[in-house]
Amino acid sequence: MNDVRSLLDALVERHSLTLEEYKFLIENRDEQSAEYAANKAVKIRKAVFGNSVYIRGLIEIGNICKNDCYYCGIRRSNTACDRYRLSDDDILKCCDEGYAIGFRTFVMQGGEDAYFSADKICDIVSRIKSKYPDCAVTLSLGEYLREDYVSMFNAGADRYLLRHETANNDHYGKLHPEKMLFDNRIRCLYDLKDIGFQTGCGFMVGSPYQTTDTLSEDLKFIEEFKPAMCGIGPFIPHKDTPFRDYPAGSAELTCFLLSIIRIMHPRILLPATTALGTIDPVGREKGIKSGANVVMPNLSPISARNKYQLYDNKLSTGAESAQNLMDLKERLKNIGYEIVVSRGDALK
């Protein structure tokens, strides 16, 4: 069997490895080989994007959700969750504020809530796009019918984030109630891509029942699906969920996987996630140094922020807050990167 470094070299060349090879990378990494991976990833990212880091303003439009994902703090069964929904005007106000600070992408994320029907989303997207035609709109609102995605796209939405959560059907079944189907999630992803969205998948690192086998399947899925974006962050337990007693995923493995994904897909948009910034005070910087090139500060109204608790202690202040963009700029400047005012679209 190859060693970790020669497999990373092979990934640079081939942009593809076998399942066994991905598994070998994950199981045999150490500090030195992770650094080797990060250096390769950063070199590749610099060749494609220079030292630019793209920002997205994250607007958490509501935490009412019909789903009951075992890991998620806003799951339906969590009666301790204080529920809210933003109005169209609230959302537009977030965009106004964000535009003034330099955001050119707005991400609307929320629970799966019938109130946010495709028509409703289309109305909001149209309003944002007519007021800010130079901005991109990203949706992250879960599973809809293909025809709904089509109308959202026609209303002007540019991108859609829908983490696949795990590429293994059995593992999917351990993270979700029976009613939620792996096949439907994957169907959504293929529909989104086919419709023309810049599409993002992704997963949590260290989710309960995850193994090096399921992780290699995640990597293989990402390799083959060729998403425009990929969100990966550590699993962090939430005290009012069935997974409250499971350990959090690690920043170290998250960063190693970010490097692998960057090497696999040089042009991918790869965020250093809020979850990574939450488990490690310099997680965001570590993510960027491992090959990430996107950060998504929180642009939600202050009143909504502590209610959108996907996991315990989720950051929404400090450098994670859109209003503190200067702080984030400074932190990234210190490690040699520059936040740019740009839509930051996926490269063809």
Footprint of ligand SAH (CB under 6 A):
71-72, 109, 111-112, 140-142, 162-163, 165, 204, 233, 235-236, 238, 275, 310-311
For ligand SAH, give the closer residue by CB, 134 or 178.
178
For ligand SAH, give the closer residue by CB, 11 or 232.
232
- What is the number of alpha carbons within 13 Å of residue 16 lying toward its C-beta? 5
Min separation Cβ 44 and ligand SAH, Å = 25
Min separation Cβ 6 and ligand SAH, Å = 32
Beta strands in 38-161 (DSSP E): 52-55, 57-62, 105-110, 136-140, 159-161
For ligand SAH, give the closer residue by CB, 46 or 307.
307
Min separation Cβ 287 and ligand SAH, Å = 14
Query: Do 38 and 259 meet the contact criterion of CB atoms below 8 Å apart?
Result: yes
Query: Do 301 and 86 meet the contact criterion of CB atoms below 8 Å apart?
Result: yes
Q: How far is CA 11 from the centre of its chain?
A: 23
Min separation Cβ 233 and ligand SAH, Å = 6
Q: How far is CA 6 from the centre of its chain?
A: 29
For ligand SAH, give the closer residue by CB, 162 or 186.
162
For ligand SAH, give the closer residue by CB, 7 or 69.
69
For ligand SAH, give the closer residue by CB, 204 or 264.
204
Min separation Cβ 238 and ligand SAH, Å = 5
For helices 251-264 and 31-49, the axis angle rounded to 10 degrees is 50
Residue 175's CB is within 10 A of a number of other CB atoms, namely 22
Residue 240's CB is within 10 A of a number of other CB atoms, namely 16
Place of tokens 């690690």: 250
Min separation Cβ 62 and ligand SAH, Å = 10
CA–CA gap between residue 22 and residue 296 (Å, rounded): 28
